[in-house]
Chains A and B, each alone.
Chain A
Amino acid sequence: MNLDAVVIAVLVAAALAVALGAALGWAAARIEPDASALVERIDALLPQTQCGQCLFPGCRPYAVAIASGAADIDRCPPGGEVTVRALAALLDRAPRPLDPAFGMPKSAQVAWIDESRCIGCARCLPACPVDAIVGAPRLMHTVITAQCTGCELCLPPCPVDCIELRPAPAVSRHQRRPCAA
């Protein structure tokens, strides 16, 4: 092989590489990462308890972290296995068990305030991420069961430990029956 051929080969390869590289560079500059749609779809699968067990301040921040690859999909105990499977399907990954470091799944629960012990300190009101506790200073408080997500975030601020978690009421059982008679 003579020197000319080598030089030509190198030149052609270099020219191709430069031409395509320039095109790719131009393309890369044009492509903005379109992550917001993905975040929306991930967020839609999370249970929205806003409990922070994943160590992110709420479900949406966790969704952002998953979308960017900063967190894995195994951090959501309230969603349990169902959520992990849904996330795995959305992201086309293999499902994996929950990471116990972030807590274990529990059955659905809602907060309940023992109104005889509540002193009306109002400290639980801002702690509730979904404003499901009604009350005013020096008046006893009540949890709106339908809106409570069971996140347990109201427990630590309560000075008299009058909040407890109870099993969530079952969904309406009504189903259509045939009148086959």
Chain B
Amino acid sequence: MAARSTFPAGLVLDAHKQQACESPIIELPLPTQVVLALDQGAGYSAEPVVAVGDAVAAGALVARADHPFASAVHAPLAGIIVAMETREAAVQGGRSLCIVIDGSGADRIDDSVRPVTDPASLSPEELVQRMRDAGIAGLGGAGFPTPTKLASARELGAHTLVLNGAECEPWICCDDALMRSAADDVVLGALILRRAAGTVRCVIAIEDDKPAAIAAVTKAIERLRDDALTLAVIPAVYPKGAERQLITAVAGVEVPAGGLPADAGVVCQNVATAAAVARWATRGEPMLSRIVTVTGSGVAHPGNVRAAIGTPLAALIAACGGYRGAPLRLIAGGSMTGRALPSDEVGLTKSMNCVLVTTRDDIGSRLGAVELPCIRCGDCASVCPAGLLPQQLLRAALADAHDALRRLGVRDCIDCGLCDYVCPSQIPLADRFRHARRRLLEAEAMANKAAAARERHELHKRRLQQAATAEQRAFDSVRNRARQPGDGSAGDGN
């Protein structure tokens, strides 16, 4: 475990949260069609268990999680599967295999949807398995399957569960809205997660710019009277809500480079995930919906919407009054780390906490950026929450110097984008580092492949040699045998 951190870096950014957060959460009715990406944002796909033409009930499993990094996908509505094809999606690489379901209008509910009678009676292992079946995944933005994280936390002996209610990125306020309206769900989910992860205590972390959420959660905790469940108020500094930075802020320990939070004795979950777990436990409902912030200058009435997973983003935006002005970029996530999407027809995924419709008012600074050479001013280094030297990394990235990239820690970059934000030369540093990591990965794959090829070539050569020796030996023995009987006669002829 690393010592108490000396990383106060980060930056206070314009929050842009006021507009969306004031109005109550909109409950969006089920759409007529959902587009379910089998990769729900974690980078790994679930295996479909249905075929085109199948009828499914609400809550029925449509794709199974075979890979530990994938999560199961369920039909949020009853209907017919009309397509299963690769489409644009809000995932890495921009495309994923998607299952498209046309709603039949009936509210037939699948038999598997049954409340968990008493979560406290289940063993942690059972809890984890049931959550896996229910497709519980992190709602904070990475979409990583919760059960996998809980299981590894228990294996590594984590002692603290941190519930992330920091929500540090500009624009996003769905967790704030959730905590205000359903703090009891968050607290109940926290208890279940704490049991499943096998940790001693649980800390709910909220940034100090959310007084209403803090008040609601405080009240919910008081009602519960559990000493091992506490609230930590942390300063509102971006990116305090990033997993590692949050753990450092709350627990005072650092996650070792290249390791897991559990290596530092901590496991981190989002408050929205906790609320979803509570929903699953009380209603038996698998992960079928989430709250998402729909905001930006390009939306008429910004707000928070609870919508079914797979709802096309156009429907979400329509629920918030539709587009306004001249929308330029459609971003899944916040303005610092969000992914710009090519189309509003992609479906909502579990990892999507925000739909940000931007106009020139919001992103003009980036669009008008003129890149100049780096002047080594070091502003990037002074804000970097990972303690890196982006100005040195940039040189290494431009020179493709892999050793230097590794030494300077390009892999310790958490992709928060703050270096870009402050750079006076307006260099797209975060993207350069993404490419550098990519090239590093490729180079390492090449090196591994070369090493394997070298080994196989050595074996190949040895095998050929053995074959040649064996052949030679066979040839010799045949010749010798041919020679022996005629030793007197044939030998003379030679």
Contacts and interface: CB of A to CB of B under 8 A. Distances in A.
The answer to A–B direct touch (Cβ < 8 A) is yes
Interface of A: 43, 46-50, 58-60, 82, 126, 128-132, 146-147, 149, 171-181
B255 to A, nearest CB: 12
A130 B453 contact: yes
Interface residues of B, number: 52
B450 A46 contact: yes
Contacts of A126: 464
A108 to B, nearest CB: 8
B287 interface: no
A129 B455 CA distance: 10
A180 B454 contact: no
B169 A181 contact: yes
Interface of B: 43-44, 92-93, 138, 140-142, 144, 164, 166-169, 172, 175, 238-239, 241-243, 268, 270, 333-334, 336-337, 353, 400, 414-416, 434, 437-438, 441-442, 445-446, 449-454, 456-457, 459-461, 463-464
Nearest to B239: A180
A178 B457 contact: no
A128 B460 contact: yes
Q: Is the interface of A mostly helix, strand, loop or mixed?
A: loop
Given A48-B451, A174-B43, A180-B336, A58 B457 contact: yes
Contacts of A172: 441, 445
Given A48-B450, A50-B453, A147-B453, A174 B241 contact: no
Given A131-B463, A181-B334, 11 more contacts: A46-B450, A48-B454, A131-B460, A173-B43, A175-B92, A178-B242, A179-B138, A179-B140, A179-B142, A180-B168, A181-B353
Closest 3 CB pairs of A and B: A48-B450, A130-B456, A48-B453
Contact of B140 (A60, A131, A146, A181): A181
Given A129-B460, A175-B438, A180 B453 contact: no
A181 B464 contact: no
With most chain B CB atoms within 10 A of its CB, the pick from A59, A130, A173, A178 is: A178
A178 B270 CA distance: 13
9 contacts: A48-B449, A50-B457, A82-B400, A131-B463, A147-B452, A147-B453, A175-B438, A178-B414, A180-B169
Contacts of A129: 453, 456-457, 460
Contacts of B456: 129-132, 147
With most chain A CB atoms within 10 A of its CB, the pick from B241, B333, B334, B454 is: B454
B175 A178 contact: no
Contacts of B416: 178, 180
Given A180-B334, A181-B241, A181-B334, A171 B445 contact: yes
With most chain B CB atoms within 10 A of its CB, the pick from A58, A149, A179 is: A179
A177 B337 contact: yes
B442 A130 contact: no
Contacts of B450: 46-48
Contacts of A176: 415
Contact of B460 (A46, A130, A180): A130
A82 to B, nearest CB: 8
B206 to A, nearest CB: 13
Contacts of B438: 173, 175
Contacts of B460: 128-131
Contact of B141 (A60, A146, A173, A180): A180
Contacts of A50: 453, 457
Contacts of A146: 449
B464 to A, nearest CB: 7
B457 A48 contact: yes
A130 B239 CA distance: 48
Nearest to B454: A48
A55 B70 CA distance: 47
A178 B142 contact: yes
A180 B242 contact: yes
A135 to B, nearest CB: 15
A178 B353 contact: no
A177 B43 CA distance: 10
Nearest to A43: B454
Contacts of A174: 43-44, 92
